[in-house]
Amino acid sequence: MPILGCLPTHRQASDQSLMMESSSSATTVAARRPRPHVVLVSSPGAGHLIPMSELARRLVAHHGLAATLVTFPDPSSSSSAAALLASLAGSGVATGTLPPVPLDDLPAAARPETKVLALVARSVPHLRALLQDAVSASTSGGATRLAALVPDLFCAATLPLAAELGVPGSRAVCGCGARTSPRGSGTVTQLSSPAASSAVCSTDSASELPNETYTTDPHARGWVVRMPSLDVDGGQSSSTGKKKNDPLTWLPEGFLERTKGRGLAVPTWAPQVRVLVHPATAAFVSHCGWNSTLESVSAGVPMIAWPLYAEQRMNAVFLTEHAGLALRPRAREEDGVVPREEVAAAVRELMEGAEKGRAVRRQAGHMQQAAARAWGPEGSSRRALEEVVGKLKAVGGHVASKATRDGPCV
């Protein structure tokens, strides 16, 4: 066969040349298009910052977007917030804290959510300036283009800025901090108990812990203890000598000594996901915030529902009466207090019970599998996030590379 028969004709060569030039031109245009830039706004507090930071990480690492996480000054947990924002260094997520605003005109007895809503509303001018800078940078040939404003549930007052600047705005109400991890994949050196033999308690106040509930039970325990909401001056209560910045001093007298060797009290915050996936963790005493709920479900850990405020009571009803994922100790009718005996009985039933406890443990395992499927390659959660990202890329004029489109998203 003549080799010349394999060579393209002049017309074919011309067409191929045009196709190559067109492809090169398209690649150049795509490279010049700015990346969509998503600004996420988180209300103060680790429970809000954690899921928003996780969402920001995913948008950058797995979807090729640019992301900035903006929050507000929070004197009550400034060290936790600073540590969390610092952990984003090197992730490609930009961070920023808006300037303080005066709140001294609010009543001294104002509820925390009232203070947060006022803080957000009064910070809108500062956020507007930040967003205007982002818009100016994108219109002057910058590498990114503002594509969306995503505030969390408590930051709805910032949504009008999206319409003002002509970008999409949507509240983030999902618990993005929930990561699907197999049991046993985490390593928590403080938990050295045998598999499925420990209960973990997350509490917002050391004063909530019953004095004897956990000290006479044979199971090992882990407690994550935060400060009670008390207004004491000078960092210390003159009447009790308990330190304002040390929640462990507010534990019942002798508590740490009686639990020594089979319990661990952690002040303020702990790596909850790593604790929940640890094989020694068999139960989780939780206030039923949605972040903790999703993390517990993803880890396959059944719960003791002990709600306090916000949407926690609604979540507790769902978990106990509908999903079958938790047991709930009964509160006294006369004062609403949950007796220590009720908490102890619920923990024992959940960890050892042959009827209710076994049913909840079994359901927790089923839901863990369902959560894994939802975040699997064809899962509903993964597809939902990919759909949102696709819309953001369309707004931002970004053409993703095949590696970005087809790369892993975990």
pTM over 0.85: no
**Inter-residue contact 357 to 350 (CB < 8 Å):** yes
Q: Give the count of beta carbons closer than 10 Å to the beta carbon of residue 136.
A: 11
Distance CA 336, CA 319 (A): 20
Contact 311, 287 (CB under 8 A): no
Higher pLDDT pick, 81 / 133: 133
Mean pLDDT lowest for which of 101-105, 191-195, 343-347? 191-195
**How confident is the model over 332-359, as a mean pLDDT?**
91
β-bridge pairing 281-286 and 198-203:
parallel
Q: Looking at the chain, how many residues does it have?
A: 410
CB 154 within 8 A of CB 116: yes
Q: Is the pLDDT of residue 126 over 90?
A: yes
Cβ distance 244 to 222 under 8 Å? no
Task: Give yes or no for residue 111 having a pLDDT over 60.
Answer: yes
pLDDT at residue 29 above 50?
no
Burial 181-215 (b: 16+ CB within 10 A, else e): bebeebebeebebeeebbbbbbbbebbbbbeebbb
Residues 6+ apart with CB under 8 A from 42: 48, 49, 52, 53, 69, 70, 71, 151, 152, 155
Q: What is the pLDDT of residues 216-252, one digit of tens each?
A: 555 656 777 776 655 444 444 444 555 556 788 878 8
Mean per-residue pLDDT of the chain: 78
pLDDT for the residue numbered 314: 96
Question: Which residue shows structure tokens 């060290």?
Answer: 79
